[in-house]
Structure 1
Amino acid sequence: MPALTPAEVLFDGEAQPAVLPPCDHYAGSEKLIRKSLALQAQLGPVFDITLDCEDGAQVGREVEHAEMVASFVGGEEDRFGRVGVRIHDFAHRAWRDDVRIILRQAKKPPAFVMLPKIRSVFDAAEIIAFIESSRAEYGIAQAIPCHLLIKTHGALADAFELAALPGVESLSFGLMDFVSAHNGAIPDSAMRSPGQFDHPLVRRAKLEIAAACHAHGKVPSHNVSTEVREMSVVASDAARARNEFGYTRMWSIHPEQIKPITAAFTPRDEEIALAAEILLAAQRADWGPTRHGDTLHDRASYRYYWSVLRRAQATGHAMPDECAAWFAA
């Protein structure tokens, strides 16, 4: 009988928590979309690309913009199937057209649909239901994951309910709109570093979103860094988001930000090696308790080390040979 893999034994039949590439890069114009797809072809599927129908579209030309976006989804330049789309928000007249155009005209379904400016569970549930019904209407067999952008008081209050919605894969934090929604009660210094990590209300919002995601096996995605020259600032933002706030993904708005974000969220070589050693020993012990050095391990710690390998694999890191079969299963 073949040895059981971590995925088969560590989750008691439940779905594994979602794991996504650690960087979500935004592009709105045709020129920037082509550049982003070329960079993805060069680096591999270690970052996602979100084609923006919201901020990218000119007023009055929403249909034409959605058609342009649809032409890239699943096309020849979409080599890895890791291209998503951001539609207009629930209050905008164009969001249903965005969904219909993209699902009808794209050569393949998008990797995900980002729903911006969510204000309540009702908003999100209605859009998700519309995407599902449109998918069925156009004969798309596989469900399309939804990512929700939280930047309002209402959405933050509903964060745990939003993360629990079927079809939701990720929650993102919209920092600048969230700060602005406080009408000057939070200083503008909280829109950038280091203030964004220090102000209590902003810290609370980041933590609530991350906690809601982890409670329901979803991916917390950190807000953008507005710094586009000093990549050390971007790297620091990403490291703090990961190490202090529990985020596993972050937005990018400039191509130069992609590499430092990806690097910050990639487990270190020594973490990967340790995880592999512990999990291989656990497999040899039929997933019973084991000892590594002076530390005892059981299924609780095995789940942690399995998450390390899954995150490493999502960032394109080569797996130790003995573990490669776990990801081919």
Structure 2
Amino acid sequence: MHPSEVLFQGKRQPLLLAACDHYAGSEKLMRKSIALQQELGPLFDITFDCEDGASAGNEEAHALMIAGLLASDENQFNRIGVRVHDVDSPFFVRDVEIICSAASRLAYIAVPKVAGVQDAMLAIDLINLHARRAGRDNLPVHILIETHGALRDAYAIAALPQVECLSFGIMDFVSAHYGAIPAAAMRTPGQFTHPLVVRAKLEVAAACHAHGKVPSHNVTT
């Protein structure tokens, strides 16, 4: 008898995502990423970035450009997501409205810097409002764990049905400690050895495994 026949498997199979999520902020890098995805196939996901990608004063035009790329024939596999501005940003609502206009071709929306589960729920409610107007229900959402509050609520956030991934954001997480974690912890080997960073990654991973979601290691260079 094989172990798979007798060991507890749980009622819900965990979600599966590509092993790599490639972030691109400028139009040039977005098109370069799309070309590579077309060449290799959907072996990796792409995240277009509204948060760090848009230049000051150009936020709406940047989001409109992204929506155009999502809806274009270049998006062959529908495996491109978008990171919008955080929920406290004056650009968050407009980002979501514009990006969700292409919801039928969108892989997911990534929401950064949530302060806790209430922020995540607020973001999901707004995403659903605009995605449904574009004919899409249950658009997957990725939540970035970058704050003390989000880490505290990691289990509750992972339990939200629409959330498919918790992604650790090491740079803002380290910044939130005001020097208690050195900058060296944002690089290797520190990102794998500093106790507070290791503890955070373990919490994110445990929360995801408890709810069949995908834990994502932080953006790296």
Asked if Structure 1 and Structure 2 have the same fold, meaning a TM-score greater than 0.5 normalized by the shorter chain, the answer is yes
| Partners of 2:55 and 2:114 in 1: CA distance | 21
| Partners of 1:43 and 1:137 in 2: CA distance | 33
Within the candidate set 208, 212, 217, 1:213 is matched to: 208
Contact 2:19 2:44 in 1 (8 A): yes
Residue of structure 2 in register with 1:168 after alignment: 163
Greater relative contact order structure (CA < 8 Å, 6+ sep): 1
Contact 1:71 1:107 in 2 (8 A): no
Shift of 1:107: 7.5
2:113 alignment partner, SS class? strand
Structure 1 residues 93-102 or 167-176, which shifts more? 93-102
Residue of structure 1 in register with 2:143 after alignment: 148
Residue of structure 1 in register with 2:91 after alignment: 94
Residue of structure 2 in register with 1:275 after alignment: none
Within the candidate set 118, 124, 138, 1:128 is matched to: 124
Residue of structure 2 in register with 1:53 after alignment: 50
Residue of structure 2 in register with 1:203 after alignment: 198
1:23 paired with 2:20, answer yes
1:36 paired with 2:49, answer no
Structural RMSD (CA): 1.6
Contact 1:103 1:109 in 2 (8 A): no
1:118 alignment partner, SS class? coil
User: Which amino acid letter does the alignment assign opposite residue 170 of structure 1?
Assistant: C
| Partners of 1:115 and 1:207 in 2: CA distance | 20
Shift of 1:137: 2.4
Residue of structure 1 in register with 2:174 after alignment: 179
Shift of 1:224: 2.4
Describe how 1:1-329 pairs up with structure 2 within 5 A: 14-104=11-101, 106=102, 108-140=104-136, 142-226=137-221
User: Which amino acid letter does the alignment assign opposite residue 116 of structure 1?
Assistant: P
Q: 1:208 to 1:107 in 2, by over 3 A?
A: closer
Q: Deviations over 1:281-322 (max 9, x none)?
A: xxxxxxxxxxxxxxxxxxxxxxxxxxxxxxxxxxxxxxxxxx
Residue of structure 2 in register with 1:312 after alignment: none
1:73 alignment partner, SS class? helix
Identity over aligned residues, as a percent?
Answer: 58
In structure 2, runs of 5+ residues without a counterpart are none
Contact 2:103 2:131 in 1 (8 A): no
Shift of 1:11: 5.8
| Partners of 1:139 and 1:78 in 2: CA distance | 18
Q: Deviations over 1:46-74 (max 9, x none)?
A: 10000111100111211101000001114
Contact 1:74 1:81 in 2 (8 A): no
In structure 1, runs of 5+ residues without a counterpart are 1-5, 227-329
| Partners of 1:139 and 1:192 in 2: CA distance | 42
Q: Number of paired residues?
A: 215
Q: Structure 1: which 4+ aligned runs deviate by more than 3 Å? A: none
TM-score (norm 1): 0.63
User: Which amino acid letter does the alignment assign opposite residue 199 of structure 1?
Assistant: H
